[in-house]
Amino acid sequence: MYKDLRQFIKALEATGDLVRIRAEVDWDEEIGGIIEEALRRDQPALLFENIKDHQRTHGRKLLTNTQLGLFRRVLMAWGLSENTHPLEALRILKERCRQRVKPVVVSKGSCKEVIETGDKVNLLEFPSPKWHARDGGRYIHTWGAIVTRDPDSGWINAGLQRGQVHGKDRMTIGFIEKSHALMHAAKYLAKGGKSMPVAVVLGAPPLVPYVACAPFPAGVDEFDVVGAIQQEPLEVIKCETSDLVVPAHSEIILEGELLLDPSTFIPEGPFGEYPGTYLGLDKVMRRVLQVKCVTHRQDPILHGLMEGLGPHVSPARDFPYLETIGLWQNLEDLGIPGIKGVYPGDSLGAGHPIIIVSIDNMYYGHARHVATALWSVHGKELQSKIVIVVDSDVDITDKNAVLNAVAQRLRPMEGITIFPGTIGGALDPSIVPEIREMTGGSGRWDRVLIDATWPIEWKPRPEWGGQKHPIYCNASKELLEQVRRRWQEYGLK
């Protein structure tokens, strides 16, 4: 497991999974354009080292494109071997997540190599990109963690919410209202507080952002989950200006006070959202983080994620958001048998409208049971507008295989079930503004199950070789293994 971003960069470079871009590029849109094209061309991670206006600033480098494209880069960030099948990777993480490991507090960390307070604080020293033309500004935080503490229980939460720069010492954080950080904020407000300590972790150890953006339940300390997945405690270090702790080997930490009085909120955005669209071109009033202290490594590296791709840019692999692990656990916890895997069927997102589940079909209505269970879990509103259930012989990480199963096994009259009028993903472009307004901003989804499993009630038939469905003509597993063993002998690559 990589202790910090630099070890990760070194490993990516060693496997040819990273390119250093030494030509000058503009933080203003050009980097966003490069990423779009890089994804179309299946390029490696990109480390920009010569960014306009940032050749002599404290922060000069920006790492991107580690999360999309080849799944190997994600496996590396998760500390798994590069040959792990994506579904097996999710299964391993699902099991590990259940055994939490507490972090250890250390007294020395590379994030403290430089400490700047007061007048020295300057967010403009870092090469924050403006990803898209109509974005409202530069986003310093798109792939790290926002750390807060529950003032009563001491629970430390790490979430992932975007941060826009608004001058030397001010940024906004784009929290959705049900963020755990805002649960903490409500407690500060109830005690008469006007602000809350927040730490923004930039250039975190590579696993941290994946965990921060996965919605673990209230009370779960995400640093314990990081420890669980990496199977050793995360090293954390105390902040300079608050009792928060942050990953000690991060590139940059911004410490500040989040202003809670609505009269202090300022306009933020617009921002190219995860479906690849703008929710609207108007700005939205957001909470301000008044930054009091910046600590960082020498020559720190910012790590960003350009969301906002849409159907026009299709990364080789969908973003394997850890949310699908949560859904998989939910199905198991509800006692639904035969679940072989849960995988997103659409690209990058804080929500996955399409969720694909593979099952060993065991009883009449099994697929409907899966779909209704997915639609019943509280807090998972952003997932599963469309649930596709397939048999376990279909590789659900391969979209073509899933489409073929739908083509061959779906009988629409029986296999399509629509469940109308549920809460929906607010950012989904299919939601008309009037409905969004009517639902108080949450959106409304009519959800659909596409059951592409062979019907369990069919009888075995002699013409199907005694099976309950037509049989396939493909080579046996044994033959394929033999062929793979001899592959090079055949003179094939």
Ligand X SMILES: Cc1cc2nc3c(=O)[nH]c(=O)nc-3n(C[C@H](O)[C@H](O)[C@H](O)COP(=O)(O)O)c2cc1C
174 contributes a contact to ligand X by CB under 6 A:
yes
Pick the closest to residue 6 from 61, 72, 54 (CA basis).
61
Angle (CA) 431-435-437 rounded to 5° is 115
The contacts of residue 229 (CB under 8 Å, 6+ apart) are: 78, 79, 93, 96, 97, 207, 211
161 contributes a contact to ligand X by CB under 6 A:
yes
Q: Which of 44, 79, 127, 159 binds ligand X (CB under 6 A)?
A: 159
| Dihedral sign of CA atoms 399, 404, 406, 409 in order | negative
Cα distance between residue 271 and residue 490, in whole Å: 52
Q: Which of 162, 184, 352, 447 binds ligand X (CB under 6 A)?
A: 162
176 contributes a contact to ligand X by CB under 6 A:
yes
Decide if 123 contacts 254 (C-beta within 8 A): yes
Minimum CB distance to ligand X smaller for 176 or for 190: 176
Cα distance between residue 125 and residue 122, in whole Å: 6
Q: Two tokens at 200?
A: 């923004």
Tell me the closest approach of the beta carbon of residue 281 to ligand X, in angstroms. Answer: 17
199 contributes a contact to ligand X by CB under 6 A:
no
Q: Which of 321, 343, 375, 445 binds ligand X (CB under 6 A)?
A: 321
Q: Which of 72, 94, 138, 180 binds ligand X (CB under 6 A)?
A: 180
Written as one string, the DSSP assignment of 215-263 is -PPTT--HHHHHHHHHTSPPEEEE-SSSS-EEETT-SEEEEEEEE--GG
307 contributes a contact to ligand X by CB under 6 A:
yes
175 contributes a contact to ligand X by CB under 6 A:
yes
Assign 491 to helix, strand or coil.
coil
Give the interface segment with ligand X, choosing from 9-17, 211-219, 286-294, 411-419 (CB under 6 A): 211-219
Minimum CB distance to ligand X smaller for 161 or for 453: 161
355 contributes a contact to ligand X by CB under 6 A:
no
Minimum CB distance to ligand X smaller for 144 or for 205: 144
Q: β-pairing, 266-268 with 163-165?
A: unpaired
Decide if 389 contacts 451 (C-beta within 8 A): yes
381 contributes a contact to ligand X by CB under 6 A:
no
Q: Two tokens at 245?
A: 């702790």
179 contributes a contact to ligand X by CB under 6 A:
yes
Minimum CB distance to ligand X smaller for 59 or for 308: 308
Tell me the closest approach of the beta carbon of residue 350 to ligand X, in angstroms. Answer: 3
68 contributes a contact to ligand X by CB under 6 A:
no
With CB atoms as reference, the residue minimizing the distance to ligand X is 159
Minimum CB distance to ligand X smaller for 159 or for 197: 159
Minimum CB distance to ligand X smaller for 277 or for 482: 277
Cα distance between residue 273 and residue 135, in whole Å: 10
Minimum CB distance to ligand X smaller for 8 or for 319: 319
130 contributes a contact to ligand X by CB under 6 A:
no
Beta strands in 317-443 (DSSP E): 339-344, 354-359, 386-391, 416-423
Tell me the closest approach of the beta carbon of residue 123 to ligand X, in angstroms. Answer: 17
Site for ligand X in 214-243 (CB under 6 A): 214-215
Between the alpha carbon of residue 70 and those of residues 29, 75, 179, 263, the distances in Å are: 24, 9, 30, 45
160 contributes a contact to ligand X by CB under 6 A:
yes
Residues at the interface with ligand X (CB under 6 A):
157, 159-162, 174-176, 179-181, 213-215, 305, 307, 321, 350
